[in-house]
Amino acid sequence: MLKPRPAIRNLKEYRPPLAGRTGLRLDFNENTQGVSTRVLEKLRTIDAEQLTRYPEREPVETLIAGFLQLEPEQLLLTNGVDEAIQLLCHTYLDTGDRALVVVPTFAMYELLAASTGAEVIPVPAGSNFCFPLESLLHSLDSRTRLIAIANPNNPTGAVAPSDQLLLLARAAPQAAILIDEAYFEFFGQTVLNEIANLPNLFVARTFSKAYGMAGLRAGILAGPATQIRLLRKAASPYNVNAIALACLPEAMRDHQFVDRYVAEVRHGRARLQNLLADLGIPYWPSQANFVLAQFGGCASQFVAAMAQHNILVRDRSCDYGCAGCVRITLGTTEQMDRVLAVMKSILNELRNRERALA
């Protein structure tokens, strides 16, 4: 009988609700505006030859490294950040090792770490989902070989101060420290420039969020050159597709597109947070392109009512410590006008119904 490794047999399933996503998609933290016109123009130039050839990743890595003021040896392009996480787990984790993950957070850290056979230690976030530095330091031991931290965190929008992240990296030289900066652009703070100073610090970036290219699958893994060299060996030379490779430099060159979109998202974030405060709905101040709010017992009703108005938001009740929580991705100013109006009317109605029942 063919048996998988026990770690695979016991793996949880991650099935994001991808089917039937029509309407305003505020459920996956995608860019709600689209992509840079420069990317679309580049896409129009793709010819049969580019589809037919095996993709050549390295020249694009050199370009992207330049944009980020890194050496090409410090950077690996990946098939989305998912592959970056997978490569880190595969390279550093073995049965008997431990991975630390702050919860709640992005599901793939736990899933991919567990798939190696390592033990995943969930470290609960502090009050108001604050970064649990003390708990992380207490959880460290010689078996700790990976620590994955999303900063800003998903689904909470909370952030960790850079000095705490660096302190953690110094305290655990035996572990790979992944700071997943998928939402960096909406926050503005980074530890990317510390890579040269710390031999165990990795930073991930993505083209799926601010750049609006989730469909193209491209992530960046930056880290110490000696470690990136090893990760590169374990990756397929053809892991990133040719169209992503053609479009990435155009996306990075169009600062304006990202800057303008980020400004709109930040404006929408303030407006949404104000509305939630006005309505007395608890929320967590976010530094990302989404806000997590506490709808309590009516979370699923709220999500369903929003869907009836063709606005998709995501119930995060199943995440650690998130019972009753809904995550709302921020859109453009025009989109937020509608979202806020719809939310107001839905929440008033839900309250009136509650009162009538009381």
- Taking CB under 8 A as the criterion, which residues in 169-188 touch a second copy? 173-176
- The correct pick among 98, 205, 217, 269 for binding a second copy (CB under 8 A) is 217
Cβ nearer to a second copy, comparing 213 with 336: 213
- The correct pick among 24, 70, 82, 249 for binding a second copy (CB under 8 A) is 82
Q: Are 276 and 291 in contact (CB under 8 A)?
A: yes
Q: Are 32 and 139 in contact (CB under 8 A)?
A: no
Closest CB 239 distance from a second copy, rounded Å: 7
Closest to 90 in 3D by CA, of 145, 170, 154, 150: 145
- The correct pick among 141, 163, 238, 318 for binding a second copy (CB under 8 A) is 238
Cα 231 to Cα 113, 114, 178, distances in angstroms: 16, 19, 13
Closest CB 299 distance from a second copy, rounded Å: 23
Asked if residue 243 binds a second copy (CB under 8 A), the reply is yes
To the nearest 10°, report the CA torsion of 156, 157, 161, 167.
Answer: 50
- The C-alpha atoms of residue 226 and residue 245 are separated, in whole angstroms, by 24
- The correct pick among 234, 263, 277, 323 for binding a second copy (CB under 8 A) is 234
Instruction: Give, as ranges, the residues between 275 and 304 that touch a second copy (CB under 8 A).
Output: none
Cβ nearer to a second copy, comparing 9 with 355: 9
Closest CB 279 distance from a second copy, rounded Å: 30
Asked if residue 69 binds a second copy (CB under 8 A), the reply is no
Q: Are 74 and 195 in contact (CB under 8 A)?
A: yes
Asked if residue 15 binds a second copy (CB under 8 A), the reply is yes
Asked if residue 141 binds a second copy (CB under 8 A), the reply is no
- The correct pick among 14, 260, 341, 345 for binding a second copy (CB under 8 A) is 14
Asked if residue 230 binds a second copy (CB under 8 A), the reply is yes
- Which burial class, exposed, middle or buried, applies to 98 when counting CB atoms under 10 A from its CB (0-12, 13-18, 19+)? buried
Reduce the DSSP state of residue 16 to 3 states and report it.
coil
Radius of gyration in angstroms for the set of CA atoms belonging to the chain, rounded to a whole number: 21
Closest CB 218 distance from a second copy, rounded Å: 9
Task: Give the pair of three-digit tokens for residue 247.
Answer: 């479009």
Asked if residue 61 binds a second copy (CB under 8 A), the reply is no
Asked if residue 331 binds a second copy (CB under 8 A), the reply is no
Reduced DSSP (H G I as helix, E B as strand, rest coil) percent helix, strand, coil of the chain, to 5:
45, 15, 35
Q: Which stretch binds a second copy (CB under 8 A): 21-29, 185-193, 294-302, 330-338?
A: 21-29
- The correct pick among 75, 77, 80, 195 for binding a second copy (CB under 8 A) is 80
Closest CB 35 distance from a second copy, rounded Å: 5
Q: Which stretch binds a second copy (CB under 8 A): 26-34, 125-133, 160-168, 311-319?
A: 26-34
- The C-alpha atoms of residue 85 and residue 299 are separated, in whole angstroms, by 31
Q: Which stretch binds a second copy (CB under 8 A): 54-62, 269-277, 288-296, 299-307?
A: 54-62
Residue 47 phi/psi, 5-degree rounding, is: -115, 180
Instruction: Give, as ranges, the residues between 30 and 49 that touch a second copy (CB under 8 A).
Output: 30-31, 34-35, 39-40, 43-44, 46-49
- The correct pick among 92, 184, 257, 283 for binding a second copy (CB under 8 A) is 92
What is the tally of helices (H) and strands (E) in the chain?
A: 14, 13
Binding mask 105-124 for a second copy (x = CB under 8 A): ---x------x-x-------
How many of the other CB atoms lie within 10 Å of CB of 279?
Answer: 14
Side chain identity, residue 228: I
Q: Is the dihedral of CA 19, 24, 28, 30 positive or negative?
A: positive
